Structure 1
């Protein structure tokens, strides 16, 4: 009798463990959307369930499949990984493409402006009001959903320092603004640059507006290198993640304080905060960590198998969150990050960004034209 009870107990434990690791336990599935392009999409922005935008780069070198002798993607081949020496898998010298949908992703159209600027990326706060960053780092504004654009700010220049070049120790270079983001109709930020190696030092640029872009103020670049991610909770509070560093601001980006953490430096790839205290970070070696005190202390919670680089993390509410990364990696947590489920992906392409506008409406985008839409099992 005792052996029978022990056997039953072991059977139940094994069943529970298998259930916890099962991909079928996820509350929904990810369906692949067709954009008609194989571009690498690094950012997704939806303002409701129907209207959204994709920011991407036209770069075939980051197709996640090996190519056959005819130059076509071999879908049965092992997915390729981005260059391990490059933290950002997107090259700045490639072409850019911005797509828009008004039907939840069933169809997509390319965003252009009447002045034929080559748009690098866009960010909208509603269906009509948005901003664009051109490849020349100019900032444009639209109030009609992208039909017409006006120039708000012409890109400036910075001094590029050249090491070991006595004849030309420095030279003028356009501001290297890579990202633009607005939290509402008035408060926005644009930033980029800040790289340094043995050959040159490129100053970073950090811009702030509090009037919808009518005026952009440049503040001293607050980071010692190029920032991996900045998450803005509201017009005042934001957190920035770099390799080995973590920063926080409480005054809209005017001043930043560096936070010392005990986490490995490869953790801080992407950051997300639900409120002023509760936040999560993901990193290059598959680590996920959580804070409950605004970033002062962190608890290591998870490490994905195969040590795939994780690229982004997003929480729809206090419990339900998603993390995405290389090799088609999609993770889901139903309990605030205490446990994570490995979710099936319809593509092995690496993911770079994930966004949810509600617990049941989300998108993930990445390399080789990968655009996924979340579909919950229970639609009631």
Structure 2
């Protein structure tokens, strides 16, 4: 307990340092900040420490297990695993998967993980390993040309869901009760109709997220409004609420969600096109997603990943192609503290916060 308390105090001091630095940073320092983003944080300075993965593929899938162990997945059927805090990465990609686009990975420990490949028809697949990636078993292959799977989430080591863009006007949900060894399509009677043009974004593995034993949320975009769907019974029945994040275009909407419990959640997104502005790129809920409020000071640009910091009721990180932002007031205001590009972010209870993205970039938050 003494060690955990010391770590918590270090985290608190570090968050305060980030918040102060972000609030006082001058635009003239942008070039210097960009350079700093590509090297490890100096002693005593909170920031991302880049880890050499040995690959240049885009890694949109991320599943940290601890400060030492993490899985990443991405383009060209790539899956990597580290067990020493990112000093060394083992290529554990499934054989013959070069044509697959892995966009989500969920890991239970250093040996058991499930990866989701996205795409139309048979391009959407789920694979599972129980031996650290030494061997893989394909447990699901989509045979419906109308389906396109985007994200996967687990409530525990046995129960999980995967979601597809709408089929026949409703989102399609897959369910597993054996840790991803087998999957079945859930009935859609309790799923609200999708809006015209509405879909999920396979950008960070966070368009479908869970908290606790039964609660799960689904993020949407592309329709007239960006919405968040919620189920309290593991995907059988859903309610829907509009977010404040702009939509009305196939490139706009909610890209990522994070819930620290069944009531307090964050949403980030915007317009992923680099030449388009993304106002109101973050929203917050305190009632389980029944209603969403706009962030008073949102991130300055499109964000595709978001995560609560461990053991905190108010601090979270958001990442995107143009940088990382921090909130210390539960999502009401955000301040940038790094300009490096990342697609997704996640944290573990032992204060292991990781991010991954384009050109093989993986980093861990250091203090």
Distance in 1, Cα, partners of 2:293 & 2:336: 20
Say what the alpha-carbon RMSD is for the aligned residues: 3.0
The 8 Å contact of residues 306 and 316 in structure 2, kept in 1 or not, is answered as yes
Larger CA deviation: 307-316 vs 293-302: 293-302
Aligned pair 1:150/2:150, yes or no? no
**1:45-124 to 2 correspondences below 5 Å:** 45-57=63-75, 95-113=76-94, 116-118=96-98, 120-121=101-102, 122-124=105-107
**1:128 match:** 111
Contact 2:128 2:139 in 1 (8 A): yes
Q: 1:185 aligns with which of 137, 154, 157?
A: 157
Question: Using the alignment, how far apart are the partners of 2:180 and 2:143 within structure 1?
Answer: 19
Q: 1: distance between equivalents of 2:337 and 2:117?
A: 36
Relative to the length of structure 2, the TM-score reads 0.71
Query: Equivalences for 1:198-277 in 2 at 5 Å?
Result: 205-220=172-187, 222=191, 224=194, 225-228=198-201, 229-243=207-221, 244-261=226-243, 264-265=246-247, 266=252, 268-277=254-263
TM-score by length of 1: 0.69
Pair 97,302 (structure 1): closer, same or farther in 2 beyond 3 Å: farther
The residue number in structure 1 matching 2:23 is 21
| Unmatched runs of 5 consecutive residues or more in structure 2 | 1-18, 26-32, 34-43, 202-206, 271-277
Determine the C-alpha separation between the residues in 1 that align with 2:266 and 2:83.
31
From 303, 306, 316, the counterpart of 1:310: 303
Relative distance call for 1:252 and 1:29 in structure 2 (3 A) is same
- What is the distance in 2 between the residues matched to 1:211 and 1:370? 32
Question: How far off its partner does 1:183 sit?
Answer: 3.0
CA positional deviation for 1:253? 0.7
Report the Cα distance in structure 1 between the residues aligned to 2:69 and 2:22, rounded to whole angstroms.
Answer: 35
How many residue pairs end up in the alignment?
A: 296
The CA distance in 1 between the partners of 2:20 and 2:366, in whole Å, is: 24
Partner SS, residue 368 of structure 1? helix
Indicate the larger mover: 216-225 or 318-327: 216-225
Aligned-residue offset at 1:359 = 7.1
Does the aligned pair in 2 maintain the 1:51–1:127 contact within 8 Å?
Answer: yes
Structure 1 runs (4+) deviating above 6 angstroms are 17-20
The structure number with the bigger radius of gyration is 1
Q: Deviations over 1:270-314 (max 9, x none)?
A: 111111211111121252221111122222224457x42111111
Deviation at 1:371, TM superposition (A): 1.6
CA contact (8 A) 1:247 1:257 kept: yes
CA contact (8 A) 2:155 2:214 kept: no
Matched residue SS, 1:99: strand
Distance 1:211 1:330, change over 3 A: same
What CA deviation, in whole Å up to 9, does each residue of 1:210-234 have, x standing for no partner?
A: 2223442202464623223111113
